[in-house]
Structure 1
Amino acid sequence: MTAAIAAQIKKLAATTDLFQHQIAARLEINQGRVSEVLSGKRYANVPAAK
């Protein structure tokens, strides 16, 4: 996972009504990684993508 993907996760979470598993499927990553990004355990300092 990269900082760019983390930024996309944050953008999708903020601008859509998608659930974590839907964001994960869209970005082809594990749902656990989405959870870690959104909870601040990973890439806490990365802002949402524009």
Structure 2
Amino acid sequence: MKSQRRAPSPKVTPTVAAKIKFLWNTTNMNQAQIAARLGALNQGRVCEVVNGRKFVDVPAAEGL
């Protein structure tokens, strides 16, 4: 029996990273909620942005 492969999480772009930072800084949403709000994102990708491992130089968006 062949194992099912899940589709990979979409790549996070600088624009999406800015939205993640905006939502994290201005709402009470947790990382999983932000991932769900922005579509098919993996919570792990949100974590990388929030904790400064990715897109360190990208500022938070001005608004959504």
Interval containing the TM-score (normalised by the shorter chain): over 0.9
Runs of 4+ in structure 1 over 2 Å off: none
Q: Which has the larger radius of gyration?
A: 2
Q: 1 or 2, which has the higher helix percentage?
A: 1
Match of 2:46 in 1: 34
Task: Report the aligned-residue RMSD.
Answer: 0.4
User: Paired residues, what number?
Assistant: 50
TM-score, normalised relative to structure 1:
0.97
How far did 1:38 drift? 0.6
Percent of aligned positions that are identical: 54
Gaps of 5+ in 1: none
Gaps of 5+ in 2: 1-11
TM-score, normalised relative to structure 2:
0.76
How far did 1:21 drift? 0.1
